[in-house]
Every structure is written in C-alpha cells, then in structure tokens.
Structure 1
Amino acid sequence: MSKQNTMVEQLADWAHNLRWDDLSDEAKEALKGRVLDSIGVAIGALGSEPVEKIRRMTEDIGGAELVTLIGGGKTTPDYGTFFNSAAIRYLDYNDSYLAKEETGHPSDNIAPVMAAAETANADGRDFLLALAIAYQVQCRLTDVAPVRKHGFDHTVQGAYGAAAGAARAMGLSSTQIANAVAIVGTGYNSLRVTRTGELSNWKGLAYPSTAMGAVHASMLAKYGITGPREVFEGNKGFMDSIAGAFELDWKDEDLERVTDTIIKRYNAEIHSQSSIEGLLELRERENIAPENIKAIRLKTFDVAYNIIGGGEEGGKKLIRYKEEADHSLPYMLAAAYLDGQVMPEQYDPDRITRDDIQKLLQKVDVQPNEAYSNRFPDEMACHIELETHDGSVFEMEKRDYQGFTTQPASWDVLMEKYNKLTSGMDSKIAARIADTIKNLEHVNIRDLTELLGEVKIKEDDDK
C-alpha cells in the first residue's frame, strides 16, 4: 500500500502541474511590475559598498559562466543568485506582502527564479509562471505559518517559495521539486536577530543567502539528491519545531497573491510608508521650519511600533549607519521632514551623522494604537501630530499610501521610480530593459539577462 503524499509532495505536484493559462491577466501584469520595480532597485544599489564587496568576492570565486550578473559578468547559478539578490535587496526598496503577524518581501524571489530560468534557457512565460509560484508559496505560508513571534525571520517562509519557483523554472519533475523544497526548508531557518538590536549588513543579505540556497538545492535535486519528505509535518519538522500546526491544501491554491503585494513609494521600511507620506503632506501644507519643531508624535499600528518604532525589536534613536537608519521610524520621519523625500541618498553616511537629522529624530515619539492595530493589514493607519515651540499642534491622519493595495502603483508610477533609480546609467539601455520586462511573456529570459549584463553606472554620476 502506497504512502499518502506529504505536504511538500502535494506542493510539488501543484507547482509542477500549473500552466501559463492558470495566471490571470492581473497577476501577469503585477508580476511584470514587480520585476521592473526590483530591477530598478537593483541597478540603484550597484554602487553601494556591500554590493561592491560581493561583486569582488564573486569575481574572485569565478566558476562556470552560466548566470549573468546585473552590471556585467557571469558566474555559477548559486553565486549569481546571491549577487543579484543582494542588489535587489540592499536598498530595502522592493515590494512587500503584509499578513497579520508577518511581513515578507516576495520580490526577493526574482533573483533565484531568474537564475534558474537563465540556466535552463527558459522563455519569459516559464519565468513569470515560476515567479508566480514562488510568490504564492511564500505569501500563503506567511498567512498561515508566521514565525517572527517564535524568533525566526521571514526568510524562513521565503525559502520554500524560492525553491519551488527555482525548481519549476529549471523544468524539474514533481519529485525533484519536492526534494529541492525539502532541502532548503530544512536547512534555511534564519533567526530574527537579523533585524533586531544593532543591525548589520546581514539585514540585507539574509534573503540572498536563502535564495542562493534555494538554487543550490534545486541543482542538487536535479542531480538526484533527496530531502526530508516530511519537512512540514514530520517529527521535528517545520510545524513541530517552529510554526505550529497549520493547514494548507496546495491543490486548491491559485496564483493571485502577487496582486496583494505592495510597492514602496519611499526608500524606507514598508510599515513606515503611510506615516512618511502623511508627514510630507503635513510639511507641504504647513511649511513649518524644522528649527520651530518641538515634537513629532506618531500613533501607529503595533507591527510598525514593534519593528521600527522602538518596541519589542529594540530602540530606534541610536542611528549610526544605513541598516539602522532604514529600520528607524524616528530617523526616516526626520529625514523626510528635513529633505522632503526618503531616497537612497538619505542613507549616505554623512547624511546620517549630520546634526540636524540627529537632533530632529530625538524629537520623534512613536506609540502603538490599538484601533490602528486592529485595522492592519487591511490598512496602514496612523496619526501624526507636529507641535511647535509656541504650543501650536498640527495633525494628519492616514489610512494608506500610494502603492498600497487600495492605491496600487500603475506601470507609469513604477516607471517614475525606475527612471530615478536608473538615472546613473545609459538611458537607452535602461529603456530597453523596461520595454523587455513589459513584454516579457513574448521573449526569452536571456533577452533580459543579456541587457542586465550591459548595465554600467556612470562614474561621474552625481545624483
């Protein structure tokens, strides 16, 4: 008598049997929008110190030239994934998915799925379908199996999505997909300390490491290596050790979760977006000089307070470098008010340490609000008070922002962001990349990766 299929085998059967026509038109357009957004963010990150260090490491390691690096060069699928994923992730400016108890960044799956697709010489449809699978798996596990409260990072759910998408993009069998997912799901259970206390470069590299592991696991599975078939429900498996029991019937899943992801308008942690937009609107409306500000008081939902507001994941007023700054509501709000924007340049070392921003961030007070917490994740509600030294108080309330599910970013809005981030490269190549992404279902994935290999940031760029 044959054994009943385990959950990872059910997931693999579902992923293997999906076809292009299973994607809705809305999902197809959302996927292309997320690719455009993430590639723009990656190009914008190419000159950053950690990404440059990883490039040097990758060049020193070498390896079979199978996967194209954004910005030129080729390497192995796993190391290519790590570099490209690091570029996508470093600025912390790519998309997010909100569940009640967990937030992830499913566009982190673009690099592993793209590397797998390039290795397999897949067409654009194969790539987009595999990417939709990665999105769906990560987002649905985020819904039903949150891990942050247990001390683990959101990259844990991402490992399953990245492996499912990469293995499908490689054209692996159902059994091989199951092995890839089981291997990476067993081996990549990152600790939440990645994003608490004193932050490090690893904040932006935890998912790239997981993504690299997902591609490596897919390659292992391709060559016949097996993984624990009871990775989800088995003794000391994911449920038993980390998430607790949950139910998920993969055969009933669609591919629509990508349409529920949200885009960052500002280069800031996702839960800050509505408060930054609100403060900027208040700034424009009242035109109060920064030196006249006595206090900025923010009431927000509990997730924002706990992660970036000074709650359970640590204080947010000792800000010394980029990784701390882009996970600090006080810093991001101070930067927004002083500079009128929050973009990569707000995290330059000399900007972070300047007196004006260091003084203003100390005047920001963040508190959780139960009513706003109850409205999350359907809303990103907040209330801002700005008090001046003469006792006047000015207020602003927000429930969402441009890029949220209630105000989805159009292709034109995404292009505005993309054009800003790619302003340091040849505009003709940037335009060709965007056009290729817009028509991705009609081309081979190598048509895109070859263009990404042509990206060169101008040395005299002073954006």
Structure 2
Amino acid sequence: MDFNDTYLSLEPLHPSDMFGPLISISSIFNKTGKDLITAAAVGYEIGTRLCDSTSLRAKGYDHVNFTEIAMAAALSKLLDFNENQIINAISIALVPHVALRQPRVGGLTMWKAGAAANSARNSVFGALATLYGFTAPSEPLSGKMGFKNIVAPDMDFSKLEGKRVDGIMRTYVKKFPVEYHAMAAVEGSMKLVNDLDMNNIDSIEVYTYEAAVSILADKEKWHPTNKETADHSLPFIIASTLVNKDFWVNNYNDIRNKQIIALMDKIHITELKEYTAQYPEKLPIRLEVKCRGKTLESEIEIPKGHYRNPMTDREIESKL
C-alpha cells in the first residue's frame, strides 16, 4: 500500500522504509528505544540530504539507491560502528546493488513495492557483514568507479556537510493512500464533488508540475490494470475521487469500473512551467471541470500532510 511518508527534493524518497530493518536489528541486538530513534534520525537526515544533492530519476536510476546508503548509515549508528566500518557497510550495500528506475515507469508491478525492501535487505547484509569483518570496496561514493563518477557526476557533496539534524521534520505524511504527487489532486477533486453532475462532465483539464506529469501521467497510467499502476495514475486517482467523493484503500477495487474508465478518458493533463518552478516547496495543481458549458475550478498549492501544512496528531491517528 502506497501510504508511507515521503520527502521530495531533486530526488524523492520514502524515509520510513528504513524502520523495518532498524526495528529488526534493534531487537536482535537488544538496543533501546532511544538507540532506535537516534538511528532513525540519522537515516532520515542522510536520506533527505542525499535527495538534495542530485536527481537520480532524471538519470534513470531509482531512489532506493539513496535508501540503501541512508539505511546502511542508520544501521551503522545503531551498531556503534566507527568511521571505517560505516564506509564499509555503505559500500557493501550500494556498490553491488545500484538500482535502475525501470520498475517505476510504464505499467507497474509488485517490484515497485519490493524495491525498497530489497534495498533494506542489502543494507542489513552490508551492516552484518561489516560487523563480522568482511571488507568492502573503498570509496563507494567518491572513488574512480564510485557512485558519483558513474551514476551522478553532478552530485553535490556539500549538501552532506554540517551538523544540523532536521531532515525528519521536513518529510511529508500521506493523508490519502496515493503516490504523493497526487495528494493535491485528491484534495482538489474533493473540493468539487458536491457541485458536480457526474453524468454531464464534458472534460477535465488538469494543470500541474513536471514530476507529477512524468511520474503519474505517462501512457500506461491512463488505463491501469493493477493496483500498483493505479496508485501512480493521476487520471485514475482524480476520476475515482470524483466518482466516490473520497479516496481510500477500497478505491483500488474500482480499477475496472466503467464510470471511472469513461471519466478518465475525459481528463487532459498539462505541465505548467510556473508550477514546475515552485516544486518542491509547493506541489500545485489546478483542476477545471467543464459541465454543460459551466466550468468549476479548484486549486491546491500545498496538500495536507506536507511539512508546511502538517496533519494533526488526530488526523494521523485516523489513518490507523
């Protein structure tokens, strides 16, 4: 289920993917709750800073490469590694396992969800192998054949400098179970549902930013055939929200709903350069729904759950 937290910058990330391995290793090695939380904060900080350093998506690589690095660092903190051990753990996790972005384009499969779990496995193996003395390639990030030179030559290492620890406070929480770039689309659609005659919609014009268009509106997203594609389909998410007047996990049972499919065919999605320029500080979307000559509009700039528009504790608890 696409319902975990998110960080959006030059590269996106789901930092909470790190909690499974951290909890497991904490249990095995009898670590305290404070140890666990401290390690998680380290993982979040490194993960978010890596996302600030370069875009992997634009180069054809997956964000789970950053998950591996951050998770290996978090596990290193949990296991009290020294500097050489930290580098070693990161190297074992990353160097043999650089991940391509192919699982996140076109029609999506179960591996979309499995990619982060696989990176977790790699990071756990790297940490445990390091613990027992297994040595790894040196300079996994900065070496001649390392990550920066081969994968991301524009990677800005200065983003990793400094002692602040606020990355976890700049992540986003999902109010709805959809890919985060569609969060504002759900809110915008829900603002319109009570004023719409669903039987007389002529067209739906959607204006948003580049990341939302390229991730959620490529060819295969217009007629999703499985849940993995549907939760990354802006047309499906908008149409399903309008038909159901809400969006929750049961909406994915409607992938073959004829009314939703027909409504998806009336949706047009366009990138606005001015919206792209606002990303990721804002995640703007504007919907224009035409019904029998009448146009209804809604616009959302910062969806609920963004760190600049946070959910309340009660709203977060209601997810559970």
TM-score range, shorter chain: over 0.9
Please, which of 246, 266, 272 is the counterpart of residue 341 of structure 1?
246
Task: Report how far residue 417 of structure 1 moved.
Answer: 1.2
Name the structure 1 match of 2:176: 266
Post-superposition Cα deviations, 1:253-312, rounded to whole Å, max 9, x if no partner, equal: 32211100001111111001112101101113x1x23211111111001110111023xx
Residue 103 in 1 paired to residue 24 in 2?
no
Name the structure 2 match of 1:169: 78
Name the structure 1 match of 2:214: 306
Name the structure 2 match of 1:8: none
2: CA distance, partners of 1:319 / 1:207: 22
Name the structure 2 match of 1:404: 306
On the 8 A contact 2:240/2:260 being kept in 1, the answer is: yes
2: CA distance, partners of 1:224 / 1:279: 55
2: CA distance, partners of 1:145 / 1:401: 24
Say which is worse superposed, 262-271 or 183-192, in terms of deviation.
Answer: 183-192
Post-superposition Cα deviations, 1:126-151, rounded to whole Å, max 9, x if no partner, equal: 00010011111111111102211110
Task: Report how far residue 411 of structure 1 moved.
Answer: 1.7
Question: TM-score, length-normalised on structure 2?
Answer: 0.96
2: CA distance, partners of 1:199 / 1:250: 32
1: CA distance, partners of 2:147 / 2:46: 15
Name the structure 2 match of 1:20: none
Equivalent residues in 2 for 1:39-118, closer than 5 Å: 91-99=1-9, 101-118=10-27
Task: Report how far residue 172 of structure 1 moved.
Answer: 3.0
Residue 278 in 1 paired to residue 183 in 2?
no
2: CA distance, partners of 1:224 / 1:332: 49
Post-superposition Cα deviations, 1:389-416, rounded to whole Å, max 9, x if no partner, equal: x111111111111111221122222111
Name the structure 1 match of 2:269: 366
Relative to structure 1, the CA distance from residue 202 to residue 317 in structure 2 (aligned partners, 3 Å threshold; closer, same or farther) is: same
Name the structure 2 match of 1:385: 288
Task: Report how far residue 315 of structure 1 moved.
Answer: 3.8
Which one-letter code corresponds to 1:404 in the other structure? H
On the 8 A contact 2:52/2:159 being kept in 1, the answer is: no
On the 8 A contact 1:120/1:169 being kept in 2, the answer is: no
Post-superposition Cα deviations, 1:182-216, rounded to whole Å, max 9, x if no partner, equal: 11121221111110012111001100000111011
Name the structure 2 match of 1:413: 315
2: CA distance, partners of 1:112 / 1:148: 25
Residue 239 in 1 paired to residue 239 in 2?
no
Question: Could you say what the CA RMSD is over the residues aligned between the two structures, in angstroms?
Answer: 1.4
Task: Report how far residue 318 of structure 1 moved.
Answer: 2.0
Which one-letter code corresponds to 2:246 in the other structure? Q
On the 8 A contact 1:266/1:341 being kept in 2, the answer is: no
Which one-letter code corresponds to 1:386 in the other structure? V
Post-superposition Cα deviations, 1:225-276, rounded to whole Å, max 9, x if no partner, equal: 1212211111111011101142237562322111000011111110011121
Please, which of 277, 282, 295 is the counterpart of residue 203 of structure 2?
295
Which one-letter code corresponds to 1:400 in the other structure? I
Name the structure 2 match of 1:457: none
Please, which of 312, 327, 331 is the counterpart of residue 236 of structure 2?
331
Post-superposition Cα deviations, 1:349-379, rounded to whole Å, max 9, x if no partner, equal: xx21121111111111111001111111110
Which one-letter code corresponds to 1:262 in the other structure? Y
Q: Secondary structure at the match of 1:152?
A: coil
Q: Secondary structure at the match of 2:298?
A: strand
Task: Report how far residue 104 of structure 1 moved.
Answer: 1.0
2: CA distance, partners of 1:316 / 1:352: 11
Say which is worse superposed, 163-172 or 120-129, in terms of deviation.
Answer: 163-172
Which one-letter code corresponds to 1:207 in the other structure? A
Question: TM-score, length-normalised on structure 1?
Answer: 0.67
Q: Secondary structure at the match of 1:205?
A: helix
Q: Secondary structure at the match of 2:203?
A: strand
Residue 195 in 1 paired to residue 104 in 2?
yes
Structure 1 alignment gaps of length 5 or more: 1-90, 419-463
Residue 254 in 1 paired to residue 157 in 2?
no
Please, which of 176, 182, 202 is the counterpart of residue 91 of structure 2?
182
